[in-house]
Every structure is written in structure tokens, then in C-alpha cells.
Amino acid sequence: MAAWELVGSLEEKVHPSRAALVTIDVQNDFFHDDGFLGKLGAPLGHIQGIVPQLRRLLDGTRDAGVPVVHVISYHDEEYASVVVTEQKLRNGHDLMDGGRQRRDAPYCLKGSFGADFFGIEALPDEEIVVKYRYSGFQGTSLDLLLRGWGVQTVILAGAATNVCVESTARDVYSHDYYLALVSDCTAATSLEAHEHTLKMIDTYFGHVVTADEVLGAWESIAESAA
């Protein structure tokens, strides 16, 4: 296919020759009951509930020969700033530590349980990109990787829909990639926030789709090529 064609259909956008799947923050501190959000008492049912569908999407992505990038977060102190710290403190990111209220509890520390993948694994040939802010593009090699592979469409999944997924989705569009955000492979602690973000993304930044639609497009492409 010619580079950077104007395409409209989902089948064209997610064609294996032009697409990559990017997962965002599928890590224990955001998904596991004993992770950061779980210990804060955040409702994790919606977030944990996407894992079976996400695994299915990953299997189909690999079968289709579409590259996969896993974007994860590290929040070690060396990567912090006064702006990031103030935001966390102001919004009450508290944990109990030895019976005392602890402000600005650490999470997603490099090498920790919280930073490990939850429910999925990166294969040896799949890239892992570490981010230190909400967007997968900010201060990372993600754009260089995608352009080096000739990617034109980013298929986006992970959590949280209204925070790191949304921040990355906006940058997907701002970096001139087509966006296919997989609605049933993304989640937030609030269903209302999740749905609000999906509506906004579909209006301004990309194409909101389901895993079935993406997998169905690849099946159709494979059948046509047979």
C-alpha cells in the first residue's frame, strides 16, 4: 500500500500493513486488588473485566502479524516533578502505612509487583516502552518505533480510558496517526468517565471500535487474500 493514504473504512485503517497495537498501563498497580488503585479502594471491576477481551485481541493481533507495543508506567522518585507531586497530593492519593495516613504513596516503581503486567505478557519480540507521564508519546521512543515500522494506524487498548489512554489517544491524533480505540479493551474506574471519553475520542480524535470489529476486519482481509 502507498504511504499515508486517505482511508476511511476500518478494514483499511487496521490493515496489517499499516497498523500496530499499543497497550497502555496493563499493570498490577492499576488492575490488581492489591495494587495502588485497589488499596485506595477504587472500584476495579470494569478495569479487571477487560482482561479476557484484551487477551483475545492480543492473540488475534499476533496471528494477523500486526506489531505490538506495550507502554508501561514507572513512577520512581527520580522521574517525579513538583508539578506531578502537587497534583497527587491535592487529589488525595493516600494509603495507610502502619496505621498512619500516607500522602503521595509510591506506585509503579521499577522492578516492583505494582509495575508488573496484569493478566497479559509481552512476547520476546514485542517492544516495551516506558513512560513517565500520562501520554505514551511524552518523552518516549514510541513515535520513532511506529514510524520506523511504517505504521499509520494505532490500535489502542488498556487503562485508564479517561487518563493515560485518553492522553495517548490525543497524541496519536496529534502525531498524525489514524486511531482505532478499542472500547471493550479499555476501561476506567468510572463507567461514566469511560463512556464520556469514548464519545469525545470518536468525535474529535479517532475511530472507537470493538475487539470484534478489529478481529473481524483482519479475518475478512485474510479471506480476501486466500
pLDDT tens string 122-178: 999 999 999 999 999 999 999 999 999 999 999 999 999 999 999 999 999 999 999
The domain of 199 spans 10-75+117-225
Whether residue 22 lies inside any domain: the answer is yes
Which whole number is the average pLDDT over 197-219? Answer: 98
The predicted structure's pLDDT at residue 100: 37
Whether residue 30 lies inside any domain: the answer is yes
Residues 6+ apart with CB under 8 A from 37: 29, 30, 31, 44, 47, 189
Whether residue 180 lies inside any domain: the answer is yes
Tell me which DSSP letter residue 174 carries.
H
Whether residue 54 lies inside any domain: the answer is yes
**Number of residues assigned to the chain:** 226
The predicted structure's pLDDT at residue 95: 46
The predicted structure's pLDDT at residue 225: 86
The predicted structure's pLDDT at residue 90: 66
Does 111 score more than 80 pLDDT? yes
Contacts 24+ apart (CB under 8 A), 8-11: 10/180, 10/207, 10/209, 10/213, 10/214, 10/217, 11/217, 11/220, 11/221
The predicted structure's pLDDT at residue 94: 52
The predicted structure's pLDDT at residue 97: 45
Residues 6+ apart with CB under 8 A from 158: 22, 23, 24, 25, 26, 54, 71, 164, 165, 185, 186
Does 77 score more than 60 pLDDT? yes
Query: Can you name the residues that pair with 22 across neighbouring β-strands?
Result: 69, 156
Which whole number is the average pLDDT over 48-77? Answer: 96
- The pTM assigned to this predicted structure is 0.90
H/E stretch holding 42 reads none
Closest CA to 169 of 133, 137, 210: 137
Whether residue 104 lies inside any domain: the answer is no
Domains held by the chain: number: 1
pLDDT band at residue 76 using 50, 70 and 90 as cut-offs: low
Are 25 and 71 in contact by the 8 Å Cβ rule? The answer is: yes
Whether residue 217 lies inside any domain: the answer is yes
Whether residue 99 lies inside any domain: the answer is no
Helix (H, G, I), strand (E, B) or coil at 205: coil
pLDDT above 90 covers what percent of the chain? 78
pLDDT tens string 176-204: 999 999 999 999 999 999 999 999 999 99
Whether residue 106 lies inside any domain: the answer is no
φ and ψ at residue 87, rounded to 5 degrees: -65, -45
Here the CATH number for the domain that contains residue 174 is 3.40.50.850
The predicted structure's pLDDT at residue 101: 33
H/E stretch holding 101 reads strand 100-103
